[in-house]
Each structure stands twice: as C-alpha cells, then as structure tokens.
Structure 1
Amino acid sequence: MEFALHGKKLLVTGGTRGIGRGIVLAAARAGADVLTCYRQESEAVDTLTAALKETAGDHHVVRADVGEIAEVDRLVQEAADRFGQLHGVVNNAGVISHIPFGELPADEWSRIIDTNLTAAYRVIHQALPLLGAGSSVVNVGSRGAAAGIPLRAHYTAAKAAMTGLTRSLAKELGPRGVRVNVVAPGVIETEAFDAMPAERAAGLRATYAQKTALARLGTVDELAGPVLFLLSEHSAYITGETLNVDGGI
C-alpha cells in the first residue's frame, strides 16, 4: 500500500533532524508539498534544504522557534502565504532535558511545556482557517507519556497532555471533517546515535533491544510510515487515536 500524498500541502514543525526530518522527506517523496521549520542554523538545515531541492514539489525550510507564540504565528502565516491552504499538520517539534523533579526550575518547566505542548495548540489554532474537510493533524507524542519517565516529569507531562488535547480536538473538529491523532514513538534510532561515543550507543541499543518485543530499536522510516498513513486518505475514518510505534516495548 502506498500512501500517495500528491497535491497535499503540509506543515511539519521541527523537520530538520531525527524523526521530523524523516517525516518531511517521506512526505515530499510521497508527492506532498512540505513547509518545515528549524530553530537555529546547522548543517542539518543545509542538507535537508539540498535534499528537498532534488525532490519534486514546492518545499520550504524556514527559521522559526515554535517555543515562541509570535514565531508560531509567523510560521503558519508563511504556510498561508505560500500554499493558501493546508491538508495536513504534523506537530513534531520538541525539546527534552533530564532533571530531578526537586531541582526542576520554573523556567525550564515552561520551556519544555511551551515547545512540546503550547506550540501544538498554537499551530493548530492558527492553522484552522487553512484546514478543510478531509484534512489531518498528527501530533507526535511519546510512548513514555503512558509509562512515566524519571527525570523527565516536565516532558512526560507535556506529552501526556498532548493526548488529551488530541482527543478533545478530534471531537470538536470532527464535524468539520478535520481528523486529529497522536503517533507515540518508542525508542527510535536517529542520527543522534551517530554523535554518541560508540560504546554508549551500543549499550543503549542492547538495553532497549531487551525491552522490546521486536528486540531492536525503531528506525526513522518506520515512524514516518504511520505518520503518512494518518495523513493519507487510507485513515479517513480514524480520529482521536494514539498509535504507539514502539516495537512492543
């Protein structure tokens, strides 16, 4: 089954690295026109821009820090100016830190909540005029939201709230023909593993291989596939759901 997205206009936040990058490239190769964003200049921005130039379609990589409301509004306006409409939104941008709860400062709590949760609210809110019947919103959550993760209370709280937001919006926006779902990844092997010391990367792979039914980590492509499914017409009767993509963790 191919998830053809020809003619679809998509906004994907945080699309230059890791999971977001995989989603952007997979969507573009499936025929969609994609606009994505990044927070700061990097080689990843340059290589993604180059890859999209070699991929058929109308693609754009713009700078926007979705942790700031004004930046979100500017990003969505950019999508409106370039595309005039949106058929899909993927709220992927996120940040994480590891801090004992007793030492968690208020500004770090706010940073994580703003980028992982408030940004999704604002993107969807501002994009509503661009989303017509048959459009799809996919929020990238986390398998850890259901389990709880020590040292990540702020991150886990944001991702758990994303599920509640999704369920409420699925009911509220359903009569308009707008679907809203969550994809909740387990441990996905991104380029971040390449940046680690080899011994540490091998240790993480071994640890999570023991914790998953499939005895391995997931790949970026294995996460992008379910996202494309939820953006496509093959999932036209699915909304308010959380799709765990975790290898049976």
Structure 2
Amino acid sequence: MDFGLKGKHAVVTGGTRGIGRAITLALIEQGVSVTACHRQESDEAATLRAEFAARDAAARLVPADVADEGDVRRLLDVAHEAFGPVDVLVNNAGVISHLPLAEMPTAEWRRVVETNLGGTYQMIRGSLDRLARPSSIVNITSAVAKHGMPNAAHYVASKAGIIGLTRALCKELGAEGIRVNALTCGIVDNTGQKSPQGEAGKRRYAQMTALGRLGEPAEIAAAVLFLASDAAAYVTGAVLDVDGGI
C-alpha cells in the first residue's frame, strides 16, 4: 500500500530492533529518507546498516541516548544536515525492567522514566526548530499504560505519561500544523528476541487477546505509516490501540 510518503524525511528513535526496526524499514520501503538512532553498538545495528546499503536507502543510523539533551541535539543536527526538515518523528526508544516497587532503587526508577517519558520529551522539544510544517509526531507507548502491570510501576508510569504528553502537545502544537498521536502496543512477537516469560508466556499472552495471537512488528509499523500520512491529516491527539484486543 502506498501511503504517499515518498520524499519525506523521518527520524525514528530506537530503530535497530523489534518495532523500531520494522518502522524504519517500512518507512524506507515507502521512499522516506530515514535517520534512525540507537544507544549502543550491537549486531542489530550492524545488520541494519547492511540492509540500508543493500537497499541503497537514503538512511543513516546515529548513536544517541534520547535521555541526553546533548545527544538529542546532535542527532537532530545530523538528520537535518543529511535530509532537511523532519516530516515524521517516531518516538520509539524505550527500556524496561521488572522489579516490585519495594525493591526498586531510585536510580532504576529514574533510568526508565527518563528514557521512556523523558526521552520523548527531549526529542519533541529538541525537534521543534527542525520539524517541517505540517508534520507528524507518533509516540509509541504500551497497552499497559491503560491496563497496568505488576512489578513494573516505573515502566507503566512512563508509558502512561506519554499518553498525557501526546494529548497536551496536540493542543499546543496543532496551530503550527504539527499532529501528535500515540500508539498503544500490545504484546508483540519480536522474532529473534528472547521473551522473559518464555514460550509458555507467549502462549498465555496470545490467549488474552481477542484475535488469539501476538502482534507482529510490521503491524505496528503499518499503523505508524497511517498516522504519518495524509490519510490521517485530521487525526491528532489520538491514542490508537494496536493490541489485538488484549
């Protein structure tokens, strides 16, 4: 399906693995120039660069920590110099850990919240002078922001905060032609990544969905393409559930 995005420029955070990688590659397939970022070198980063080369894609992969204001500014400077104003910003970078609140050090709370919610804030704030007008911001959050999850209060709080940030900024930035939307993702089967719950956990989560299966990264990417495109020109402040009816 052609979403009419050819010639646009997108920045995708956390773009080397799972959902972020699928979004990055889906945008490239639509003819979008993409600047993706990752926090550290990895096999996934190396193979993504190889995919860029194999496709002769107008794409760059930049190391950056989205929680670091200086890294964010450098990332956006590199993106703008390479491909011009940013038409689509996808805030996907995130971290998680599993700890009961009574055992959660303050440092771990801060690490997760400052990466997930703080990183989204840093990227949007830092991009205001780099965004095209009009443009689209898509924030990736999680179904647990609505439903909750034990032993991950920091993660749930950060993902719920992204929904609040989305709804606030859609009103603040709408007059400039900047749309701000969020996707709440369900359990996604990131092929090649080990699930902390194991295969039994995957089966249990699949049974919790109306569709009886886990999601695929490409299905999240397809929703991002819709929100990035003119098909969603009158959509802002929306929180789109892509969770299989969990």
TM category, shorter: over 0.9
Query: Which whole-Å CA distance do the structure 1 matches of 2:94 and 2:100 have between them?
Result: 19
| 2:76/2:130 contact within 8 Å kept | no
2:222 equivalent to 1:225: yes
Partner residue, 2:240: 243
- Quick one: which amino acid aligns to residue 145 of structure 2? A
| 1:134/1:236 contact within 8 Å kept | no
Residue 202 of structure 1, CA deviation: 2.5
Aligned length: 246
Query: Which whole-Å CA distance do the structure 2 matches of 1:144 and 1:196 have between them?
Result: 17
Partner residue, 2:58: 58
| 1:16/1:44 contact within 8 Å kept | yes
Partner residue, 2:27: 27
Gaps of 5+ in 2: none
Partner residue, 1:204: 201
Secondary structure, in 3 states, of the residue corresponding to 1:182? Answer: strand
Partner residue, 2:212: 215
Secondary structure, in 3 states, of the residue corresponding to 1:248? Answer: coil
Residue 163 of structure 1, CA deviation: 0.5
Partner residue, 1:13: 13
Query: Which whole-Å CA distance do the structure 2 matches of 1:230 and 1:154 have between them?
Result: 27
Query: Which whole-Å CA distance do the structure 2 matches of 1:69 and 1:192 have between them?
Result: 31
Query: Which whole-Å CA distance do the structure 2 matches of 1:246 and 1:196 have between them?
Result: 17
| 2:67/2:122 contact within 8 Å kept | no
TM-score, length-normalised on structure 2?
A: 0.96
Identity across matched positions, percent: 47
2:45 equivalent to 1:45: yes
Query: Which whole-Å CA distance do the structure 2 matches of 1:57 and 1:196 have between them?
Result: 31
Residue 196 of structure 1, CA deviation: 5.2
Secondary structure, in 3 states, of the residue corresponding to 1:139? Answer: strand
Secondary structure, in 3 states, of the residue corresponding to 2:34? Answer: strand
- Quick one: which amino acid aligns to residue 59 of structure 1? A
Query: Which whole-Å CA distance do the structure 1 matches of 2:140 and 2:54 have between them?
Result: 27
Residue 35 of structure 1, CA deviation: 0.4
CA spacing shift, 1:90–1:196, aligned 2, 3 Å: closer
- Quick one: which amino acid aligns to residue 231 of structure 2? H
Residue 192 of structure 1, CA deviation: 4.7
**1:1-249 pair list within 5 angstroms:** 1-193=1-193, 195=194, 201-249=198-246
- Quick one: which amino acid aligns to residue 118 of structure 1? G
How big is each residue's C-alpha offset from its partner over 1:49-75, in whole Å with a ceiling of 9 and x where there is no partner?
111122244100111121222211211
Query: Which whole-Å CA distance do the structure 1 matches of 2:136 and 2:39 have between them?
Result: 24
CA spacing shift, 1:192–1:114, aligned 2, 3 Å: farther
Secondary structure, in 3 states, of the residue corresponding to 2:109? Answer: helix
- Quick one: which amino acid aligns to residue 73 of structure 1? R
Secondary structure, in 3 states, of the residue corresponding to 1:5? Answer: coil
| 1:31/1:56 contact within 8 Å kept | no
| Cα RMSD, aligned residues only | 1.4
How big is each residue's C-alpha offset from its partner over 1:197-249, in whole Å with a ceiling of 9 and x where there is no partner?
9xx64212210121000000000111110011101111000000100100000
